Amino acid sequence: MRVQFEDMVRQFEKVLLSRGMDSPSAKLSATMIAETSLEGVYTHGANRFYFYVKNIDDGLVDVDARATPVGRFGALERWDAKMGPGNLNASICMRRAIKLAKENTIGCVALANNSHWMRPGTYGLMAAQETCIGILWTNTLPLMPAWGGKDAKVGNNPLVLAIPSNDGPVLVDAAMSQFSYGKMETYKREGRALPFDGGFDSEGKASRDAGAIMESKRPMPMGFWKGTSLALALDLIAAALSGGRTTHSIGTDVESEVSQVFIAISLANLPDRAAIEEKITASLADLKASDAIDPNNPVRFPGERRKSLREENMREGIPVDEKIWEKICSL
Amino acid sequence: MRVQFEDMVRQFEKVLLSRGMDSPSAKLSATMIAETSLEGVYTHGANRFYFYVKNIDDGLVDVDARATPVGRFGALERWDAKMGPGNLNASICMRRAIKLAKENTIGCVALANNSHWMRPGTYGLMAAQETCIGILWTNTLPLMPAWGGKDAKVGNNPLVLAIPSNDGPVLVDAAMSQFSYGKMETYKREGRALPFDGGFDSEGKASRDAGAIMESKRPMPMGFWKGTSLALALDLIAAALSGGRTTHSIGTDVESEVSQVFIAISLANLPDRAAIEEKITASLADLKASDAIDPNNPVRFPGERRKSLREENMREGIPVDEKIWEKICSL
């Protein structure tokens, strides 16, 4: 089924207001989550809304708490999210990092004790909108084994790199596992095999069965040993800078009190913005001129399809799994 | 064969002096390159020295040129490397980024027009040595196709993340291809198959044959589509911040005038250094306590083997391919 964007926002808003969230926050949160689905990232939009609300109902997320500054250290600030709504806290901190970047060209906010921030790319797009490079990431609970190990020890710690461009932001939003749990849930729900080995089953065999991988808790890191190395480093940096928890200290029970880093770099502070835009445009054009393996499937830059998907879903309504929408309407 | 560390430094130094490099620079460059082999990264140490000197002989690298500042923008500076020796320029810029981090907690130097910087990890270790997080990367010439394309369009753009720890620095030094060209050269020379598909052969079939992949110029990105997305973003950021070249404008002829980014974040500027060290130590201990797939091959953190390899090679001499050492001695 398809749901109109405005209807989706309204439904999310209604549920959040019913959980005691103040009206401007409910509107902002609902809009961010609906926009995620609008732009085709269904796994982190409507599909995840139920868990967002469940965390509030379970007392894991405090609808009234918001991130506040803890200390300023030059161009870096530490903030405490106090387990308020993760997406609201993240947008507060990204906004602050952009402000610091406008003052110092590069600015960083390190955030402790946040709840799940929903779609990571949301905050990268905020940076690009303000003519900033965005570099941001979160840690998570232990979701995958270290390379060579069997038991989940590292997070999948999504990393976002965002770059403003004349063709719309270049947006890389990548978990350090080959497939995020959100993606695997989708494949499992739809009964489809993953396009590549996405992990190991309980017997330790490489597998494309999302359900078996989720059960064994052994997803494949992106690039084998490289993915878990990068994930570990991102985790340690986030915890060190924010003063918050590492993946290890978050533990395996519930994903709460994660650590996040928001770095913004203001291109408007540099003297040659026009030349920068020109060279980015030329690079993207060159990439798109790739000799495609499948001529019907031209090479695209990351983030390129966002605009057309957005337009299509705005026009036709946003595709949602019927059972998921029913569940949302019953909240 | 094995060569003593001091002999290797002396030989490198002699060659560099013969190419007109000033004495302190020759000593520093020789030491950095020999240390790379000493720490077991043979691909980017002795194995690459011949190319370092060849670039000088071919007039691509100016032994007398050194990076100089172009402009300061808050906590970010732009430098111009003027195609001086890449490793000397990179160490100058990393040192400067560390200085900026001590002043502003986070500091960034963006460097244009550098030649090959040899081992990326060298500069991450410099940051860790100064109690800084190091986040740094370079772009390269087009070395691999975008995901879904056949012709080389993106660099493999190695990324380094370094974190000081009580157990020695955590050091991630990862090219965005699954295997670096240096690694593939080693497998090819030794006639061994890659442990995983490392690219596509000229017929477009996934392959473990390093020689065939180097010929087709179709190495596999780390994590498939994720690797080329990350590589593209790192390239655009480096060129935008430095005012230098993108992978596209470097072109395919010779790798020269690359763009690099050095970000340092000073942990000593934060109020809770002891707590930070403690949580890093606890995370690494937890990782190492992984239930290993092969009990004889315990899980290690990235960078862990550096110290023992260094000690072993200092004691026993550094392993070098005989033909490579002969070539170096004939320079």
* DSSP state string for B19-74: TT--HHHHHHHHHHHHHHHHTT-GGGTHHHHHHHHHHHHTTSS-TT---EEEEEET
Residues B163 and B72 in one domain: yes
- Cβ count near A269 (within 10 Å): 18
Q: Domain containing B22 — which CATH number?
A: 1.10.1530.10
Q: Read off φ and ψ for residue B135, nearest 5 degrees.
A: -130, 110
Q: How far apart are CA B65 and CA A30, in angstroms?
A: 56
**Average of per-residue pLDDT values in chain A:** 96
For B20, left (φ over 0), alpha (ψ -120 to 50), or beta? left
Q: How far apart are CA B71 and CA B295, in angstroms?
A: 53
Q: Please report where in the chains the tokens 């489809």 appear, as a residue.
A: A192
Contact A137, A155 (CB under 8 A): no
CA dihedral B130, B135, B141, B142 (to 10 degrees): 160
Helix count and strand count (H, E) for chain B = 12, 13
Can you give the residue range of the structural domain that contains B160?
68-177+226-269
| Residue B286 domain flag | no
Mean pLDDT along residues B17-38: 98
Mean pLDDT along residues B179-192: 90
B44 counts as catalytic: yes
| Number of domains composing chain B | 3
Q: Do B149 and A290 touch (CB under 8 A)?
A: yes
Residue A1 has pLDDT above 80, yes or no: yes
pLDDT-based confidence at residue A254 (cuts at 50, 70, 90): confident
Residues A72 and A93 in one domain: yes
pLDDT computed for residue A125 by the predictor:
98
Q: Do B148 and A297 touch (CB under 8 A)?
A: yes
Q: Domain containing B197 — which CATH number?
A: 3.30.60.50
Residues A153 and A243 in one domain: yes
Residues B194 and B94 in one domain: no
Model ipTM value: 0.97
| Residue B238 domain flag | yes
pLDDT computed for residue A53 by the predictor:
98
pLDDT computed for residue A163 by the predictor:
98
Active-site annotation holder among A8, A21, A39, A44:
A44
| Residue A206 domain flag | no
Residues A74 and A94 in one domain: yes
Mean pLDDT along residues B260-289: 98
Chain A: closest CA distance from residue B19 (Å): 35
CB distance from B307 to chain A under 8 Å? Answer: no
Instruction: Please identify among residues 224-243 of chain B the ones whose CB lies closer than 8 Å to any CB of chain A.
Output: 224, 226-227, 229-230, 232-237, 239-241, 243
Contact B318, B36 (CB under 8 A): no
Residues B317 and B244 in one domain: no
pLDDT-based confidence at residue B26 (cuts at 50, 70, 90): very high
Chain A: closest CA distance from residue B324 (Å): 28
List the single best residue of B100, B224, B290, B297 to mutate versus A (max A Cβ within 10 A): B290
pTM: 0.97
| Residue A168 domain flag | yes
pLDDT-based confidence at residue A128 (cuts at 50, 70, 90): very high
| Residue A321 domain flag | yes
Mean pLDDT along residues A203-215: 93
Chain A: closest CA distance from residue B89 (Å): 22
Q: Looking at A290-304, A309-323, B189-203, B218-232, which range is the least confident one?
A: B189-203
Residues B55 and B26 in one domain: yes
pLDDT computed for residue B256 by the predictor:
80
| Residue B294 domain flag | no
Q: Is B190 exposed, middle or buried (0-12, 13-18, 19+ CB in 10 A)?
A: exposed
Residues A103 and A138 in one domain: yes
Q: How far apart are CA B88 and CA B246, in angstroms?
A: 21
| Residue A43 domain flag | yes
Q: Do B75 and A74 touch (CB under 8 A)?
A: yes
For the segment A281-326, what is each residue's pLDDT rounded down to a tens digit?
999 999 999 999 999 999 999 999 999 999 999 999 999 999 999 9
Q: Do B73 and A269 touch (CB under 8 A)?
A: yes
DSSP letter for A219, please: B
**Average of per-residue pLDDT values in chain B:** 96
Q: For residue A240, which residues of chain B lie inside 8 Å, CB to CB?
A: 133, 163, 267, 270, 276, 279-280
Residues B142 and B239 in one domain: yes
CB distance from A193 to chain B under 8 Å? Answer: no
High-pLDDT (> 90) share of chain B, %: 95
Contact A210, A185 (CB under 8 A): yes
pLDDT computed for residue B254 by the predictor:
73
Q: Do B243 and A276 touch (CB under 8 A)?
A: yes
Residues A148 and A277 in one domain: no
Q: Read off φ and ψ for residue B154, nearest 5 degrees.
A: -120, 155
Helix (H) or strand (E) holding B64: none
Residues A120 and A261 in one domain: yes
Residues B149 and B256 in one domain: yes
Among candidate residues A61, A217, A302, A59, the one with its CA nearest the CA of residue B147: A302
Q: How far apart are CA A124 and CA A153, in angstroms?
A: 27
Residue A249 has pLDDT above 90, yes or no: yes
pLDDT computed for residue B182 by the predictor:
82
Nearest-Cα residue of chain A relative to residue B147: A299
For the segment A161-180, what is each residue's pLDDT rounded down to a tens digit?
999 999 999 999 999 999 98
Q: Do B293 and A204 touch (CB under 8 A)?
A: yes
Q: Looking at A203-207, A295-299, B16-20, which range is the least confident one?
A: A203-207
pLDDT computed for residue A275 by the predictor:
97
| Residue B274 domain flag | no
